[in-house]
Amino acid sequence: MNLNKYVEDSKIINNLNNDEFRKKNIVSKKEKDLLTTTYLLLKICLFLLAFISLIKIGNTTQIRLSRLKEIKDSYFYEKDRFKKLTKRFDNLLSHQGQQRFMKDQDQMISRDVMRVIWR
């Protein structure tokens, strides 16, 4: 049974390769031109789609990189500010830190304001 099926399949293949089959299914020149222009237009559309997608990806990447740069700059600014405040706080708790703190406060408070120092 399998042998008969194989023989039938080989007949179909032989018929497809046969010159008579090719002559019967000759496509006209207009149909060939239509197919080639259709394929050309399809290729052009796909190329334009790919090109526009690349431009969009590039633009999105540029926006993300600028946002990441802003975040990085903000992070370094806050990090430096934290280091300065930590250093000032450590100086306040060190030996004679209270006098230094009072000197800093003298610069911040105007002269005509009454100050109360608790001991």
Q: What is the pLDDT along the chain (119 residues), one digit of tens a residue?
A: 555 555 555 555 555 555 555 555 566 788 888 899 999 999 999 999 999 999 999 999 999 999 999 999 999 999 999 999 888 888 777 776 666 666 665 555 566 666 666 76
Q: Give the whole-angstrom CA distance, residue 65 versus residue 80.
A: 23
pTM exceeds 0.85, yes or no: no
Q: Give the whole-angstrom CA distance, residue 91 versus residue 48.
A: 65
Longest Cα separation, the chain: 116
Q: How many CB atoms lie within 10 A of CB 98?
A: 13
| Inter-CA distances, 90 with 15, 30, 70, 93, 105, Å | 95, 89, 30, 5, 16
